[in-house]
Amino acid sequence: MKPKHVPAAAGAPDPYFPNSGDHRYRVHRYELALDYRPGPNRLAGSARLSAVADAALAEFALDLAEFRIGRVLVDGKAARYTHRGGKLRIRPARALAPGAAFTVEVHYAGNPRPVRSPWGGLGWEELTEGALVASQPVGAPSWFPCNDRPADKATYQLAVTTPSPFTVVASGRLLTRTTRASSTTWVYEQSAPTPTYLVTVSIGHYRPVPLAVRPAVPQTGYVPERLAAAFARDFARQPEMAAYFGEVFGPYPFGEYAVVVADEELDVPVEAQGVATFGTNHLGGGWERERLIAHELAHQWFGNSVTIADWRHIWLNEGFAKYAEWLWSEHAGGPGAAVHAAAAHRLLAGLPQDLTLGDPGRRLMFDDRLYQRGGLVVHALRRALGDDAFFAMLRDWTGANRHGVVATADLRAHAARYTAAPLGPLFEAWLERPELPPLPG
């Protein structure tokens, strides 16, 4: 399954993270075999990458944190390599020609820890009992060698071996679970193209909690035993939410949806492809928690299936997920989207006007204002198009770009097909200038 659209920008270094990834080749499949021991926090892994060269490659690079490297093979032959500063630079025995398909095998081991970033540690996080992965935007190298670029989407097979008392939840569908002696191997297959930052693993003492008897999309929670009843209560409306989003956004893009409640407090929930991870502090009911459920679920369409070409376009992920919160409130009998939009506009009006939504810069890419202003752009589009055209536009956007890669220019061109009125002034005001435009409608 290949992405349907890859903008030219996808073949260039990411402007916010120019040292992440190698744009000269594309990976189309990862096969990871991991053995994790929670007590000593020790990870031993092997990774097999199937890739295609887009240019002549005498050498190429993978992103990988400071593990010990056992061996590196390219097309089954030993390759020379250096490993410094989070980069595994590989020189195959024979240079790769443009268009050549090749495989890379890396065997590695060590104590995984988060990658340092301006937003704290990213990636593999050791918990009191187990581990979780939260990689956005550049944390994937904390646990496997990869081409860490959002536009380089691939399929995955993950085989994770842990002591048998632990449960493993990973991106994709569980294929097998095999116990030998005191260890169990869990094998997951993610057949939909997935960016590296959206691949996840959670390891812990979890009880599975089905969220509906016959949901259109299988939905399961994995929670500590003592929280099972609270989870079932707090997430009871998620199947209804998924059904509603399927109506307004188009069919759910993956085969399943899992929710993990880690036995820790987390700053924010974390979305991954087909999985969302919450902390114990995200239980308890109320709108503030319900909107987070809606937000993470909406990312399965906006960000996960329809993926940004590079991090300049992050508002496409967060703006639509924020607006999904407001749509769910409107649908579920709470305040309408216009009420939420007005509240967001009042909030932003009292804050500094120094964020350019269409290119916020690395420093502001996770600023709270980006989420609110992104939601307001979507609301402005709804007002400009009218409900019938707006929701048709949304469904066609996710359908045409299902499992693909997009940029802001693609949305602008797409939305223009649903109205005779010019949308250029709307997008320019909201995306290209930092000053807050008037409240839509």
Residues facing 35 on adjacent strands: 44, 161
User: Can you tell me the distance from the alpha carbon of 397 to that of 387, in angstroms, rounded to the nearest whole number?
Assistant: 15
| Helix-helix angle 238-249:315-331, to 10 degrees | 120
Burial of 48 (0-12, 13-18, 19+ CB in 10 A): middle
DSSP state of 182: T
User: Can you tell me the distance from the alpha carbon of 200 to that of 147, in angstroms, rounded to the nearest whole number?
Assistant: 16
Binding site annotation covers 340? no
Structural contact between residues 285 and 339, judged by C-beta atoms closer than 8 angstroms: no
Give ∠ CA 400-433-414 in degrees, rounded to 5. Answer: 15
User: Can you tell me the distance from the alpha carbon of 239 to that of 225, in angstroms, rounded to the nearest whole number?
Assistant: 21
User: Can you tell me the distance from the alpha carbon of 348 to that of 341, in angstroms, rounded to the nearest whole number?
Assistant: 10
Binding site annotation covers 125? no
Instruction: Specify the long-range contacts of residues 78-85, CB closer than 8 Å, at least 24 apart.
Output: 79/104
Binding site annotation covers 403? no
Q: 3-class SS at 429? A: helix
The count of other CB atoms within 10 Å of the CB of residue 352 is 9
**Binding region:** 295, 299, 318
**Binding region for Zn(2+):** 295, 299, 318
